[in-house]
Amino acid sequence: MFLLGQDSGEPILIWPEFSWNSVINGTIFLVAVLLTAYLVQRYIRRKNSLSKEYKNRILTKLQLHKFHSKDIPLFHSFLDQVSDTDLRRLAEDPAWYRRYFLPEFLQFLADQSNRPAWKDILTIHSLDHLIEDHKGHPKNFITAILKTDSEEIFPALIKSQELDANSLHKELKAVIYTKKGNSPLSLSRYGKIQVLIPNESKRWFRSEAILISQEGNSLNLQIQTSPELDPKIDEDWTDTVKANSIWKDPAVPEEYKNSLLQILEYSGLNASHQGEIVRLVGIFKEHPGLLRRQHKEEDYKILIHLYKACFIKFRAHKASVPKSVLLFLYYFFLDEELFPAKRIKELENAISNFQSSISDLQYSEAKFSIHFFPDWLNLILAGKKKPSKNQLGQSYEQAKKSELRWNQTLEEENLQNKEYLSHILDWELENLLSHGLASISLSPNLSYPISSEDQFYGLTEDNLAFPNHILTQSEKVLKIDPSLFQRQLNDIHSPSRDLETFSKREMYADCILLPYAGNRGILWQDSVEENQSYCRILFPMILGEKLNLIVTKVLGEFRWETERTLRGNKWKEPTPASITSEYFDYIENFRRNPHLTVEAKKRVEQQWEKTGKNIKDMFSIDYANWILMEAEGKPRLNRIAREILSRFVPIQIKPTP
């Protein structure tokens, strides 16, 4: 009806008139978009091309072919994080090495906490003799190690052309670089420092010095004695592994030849899995550090699958296990070409020493049980220990329940069922072997399962976590902190409000030695059953840090986490006062604290940044300084941190000699 009512002289639909303006505007817009995309792409290509060119020019000047293959990835990692502007400066400035590269590279090495400080200095020492461009410029700095009377060591640059008899009683400026996870240098004025410098032949010479003043990382030192050879340091700090010297050692015992093939044959894995593992080990031998940076999840899974296959067979037939397989289960040893023959034999002998050290232990105060990883897996499969929690704090049952559909039921616990045992074995391997690997390293990007000679420095026994050494250090800490394994709590269910009653909670810890290299311990979980707390602590089998520091720091973490768990959501509340609430308040307000000097605030800020603003790690460092340094009369903490720890962990401080 509407259509019939329209005027027949007017069109029903009116088409718009054609206009070139819309076509032209659309074309201009499209061309502009395409041109912008082209220019951006061209700019990015040119930028990447220039960056690559600058990097190649810098790498050519560094002469990396004269370094060991395990050190080469460090240079690549450093240049990857340098901005394009700085890359150009490093490539074109005649004074690029001493003015820009050296200070920044030393800081980068300090952040790679998997390496000892003296190794950083030897790397710089080698660079000094390879770089030609800086010869036309005066050598204003020498590289050195500063060592305190408490065995703390710091890489440093000392502003001097040479340290000799003419340097006596002169005041020299120095810049120190604090390793990641360590506390900054904190010495009182006129505190004694040893200055250790390698000579042309990389022999270590020692001079005595005193601290005149300190501002942040900048020091003023006065040299007290002429440099003299330090025989002990010279022996301990020698990089005995030369390039390509260990890959084909004719002295390897017969039973360790073709170790990788022995391990693969023992595992019974299929041919495709074996081929992939051979490929991974081959790449690792060529570029050990580079492979660790890549961090491929598939690599971990297949290596852990190999561990599972070997462990199952080892558990069933312990009597006939090849020695190479035994080293794999304890150290993740995979190839004899990654170690010199002497080290392999010492690692083999250490296994029997481990077992005897556990059987001979008679420690009743430190409530520690120490387990090698194969032994721990046996306890799990035998039902003597419950499977560990995952990173989210979920137990095995909780995680499996969350995966169930509405019409499914939870798998019944049956230690006679092979399928159930396989599931809990996979669970334990995934949590402790896979996730635990990154946890026991201060630089997770450098962690990798395969063990090799580059993880060892000095004597083999000094690099391994012997159970008796762990418990001996725990006993020392316990003597200073007697309440370490006990907590006293207010009883909130007391029938009388007038009488304040308390309950005690006993703390126990299972210490599990993972078959990896690492430089820290980690509190993996804290479970409470009635009035007892059962914790699990992970330690690396191969140590990249001093054992007493690793143990003391993880016990500080143990004290912090157990205290926080017991207090629940009230761990930060000031009433009642606790070590967690007091320390939290200190960290939150140290910048505004009138009782801290400007220098003290700078040190706290520096340590806070180094720990990634993690209050637990911050506390564990201060706790270690309190136990290892302050108890010996060697001040390391500021006034506020010292007051907090003295209130909750009182110690009898020895007078300073």
In tens, the pLDDT along 374-433 reads: 999 999 999 888 899 888 888 888 887 777 665 566 666 666 678 888 889 999 999 998
**Given a cut of 50, is residue 497 above it in pLDDT?**
no
Measure the CA–CA gap between 274 and 261, rounded to whole angstroms. Answer: 9
In tens, the pLDDT along 186-206 reads: 777 888 899 999 988 888 999
Give the up-direction half-sphere exposure of residue 320: CA atoms within 13 A in the CB hemisphere.
Answer: 4
CATH 3.10.20 for domain 95-236, yes or no, is no
Q: How confident is the model at residue 445 (pLDDT cuts 50, 70, 90)?
A: low
> Which stretch, 138-142, 215-219, 285-289, has highest mean pLDDT?
215-219
Q: How many degrees, rounded to 5, is the angle at CA 379 between CA 388 and CA 395?
A: 20
Please list the helix, strand and coil fractions of the chain in percent, rounded to the nearest 5, in that order.
50, 15, 35
In tens, the pLDDT along 298-321 reads: 888 899 999 999 999 999 887 789
How many percent of the chain have pLDDT more than 90? 27
Measure the CA–CA gap between 500 and 503, rounded to whole angstroms. Answer: 10
- pTM here is 0.80
Question: Which H or E run contains 297?
Answer: helix 297-316
How many percent of the chain have pLDDT more than 70? 83
Between β-strands 204-215 and 368-372, what pairing exists: parallel, antiparallel or unpaired? unpaired
Q: Helices 20-62 and 72-80 meet at what angle, rounded to 10? A: 150
Question: Which of 176, 184, 168, 171 shows the shortest CA–CA distance to 146?
Answer: 176
**Which stretches within 134-237 are classed as H helix?**
231-236
Beta partners for residue 210, in sequence order: 192, 222
**Given a cut of 50, is residue 246 above it in pLDDT?**
no
DSSP 597: -
Between β-strands 204-215 and 532-543, what pairing exists: parallel, antiparallel or unpaired? unpaired
| pLDDT score, position 292 | 59
Residue with the bigger pLDDT between 447 and 480: it is 480
| pLDDT score, position 243 | 38
Residue with the bigger pLDDT between 112 and 613: it is 613
Cβ atoms within 10 Å, residue 386: 14
Measure the CA–CA gap between 403 and 400, rounded to whole angstroms. Answer: 5
Phi, then psi, of 351 in degrees rounded to 5: -60, -45
In tens, the pLDDT along 638-654 reads: 999 999 999 999 986 65
Mean pLDDT over 478-491 rounds to: 76
Q: How confident is the model at residue 165 (pLDDT cuts 50, 70, 90)?
A: confident
| pLDDT score, position 498 | 45
Cβ atoms within 10 Å, residue 493: 6
| pLDDT score, position 612 | 85
In tens, the pLDDT along 72-103 reads: 778 888 888 888 888 888 888 887 888 888 88
